[in-house]
Amino acid sequence: LDAGADFQTCGDQLQIHKNTVKYRIKKISETLGYNVTRFSESYECYVACMIYRLISL
């Protein structure tokens, strides 16, 4: 979320290779059953992550 869907930026922030980010996103998408890289398909996941961040502060 913080990287704006950019694999390279996400990898830099997490200090991992961008291909590792792609692999993990692919596994998340397979587990959830929809493509989390498409905002139209991942809106519920996005909202859930934002709510989790708010209650975890």
| pLDDT tens digits for range 1-55 | 778 778 999 999 999 999 999 999 999 889 988 888 887 777 888 888 889 989 9
Q: Please name the residue that has the structure tokens 């498409």.
A: 38
Q: What pLDDT, on the 0 to 100 scale, is given for residue 2?
A: 77
Find the domain containing 38 and state its range: 7-55
Q: What pLDDT, on the 0 to 100 scale, is given for residue 55?
A: 94
**2 domain-assigned:** no
Q: What pLDDT, on the 0 to 100 scale, is given for residue 19?
A: 96
* Spatial distance between the Cα atoms of 45 and 36, rounded to a whole number of angstroms: 8
**Count of domains forming the chain:** 1
Return the number of other C-beta atoms located less than 10 Å from residue 52's C-beta. 9
**51 domain-assigned:** yes
**21 domain-assigned:** yes
* Spatial distance between the Cα atoms of 21 and 6, rounded to a whole number of angstroms: 10
**27 domain-assigned:** yes
- Are 30 and 43 in contact by the 8 Å Cβ rule? The answer is no
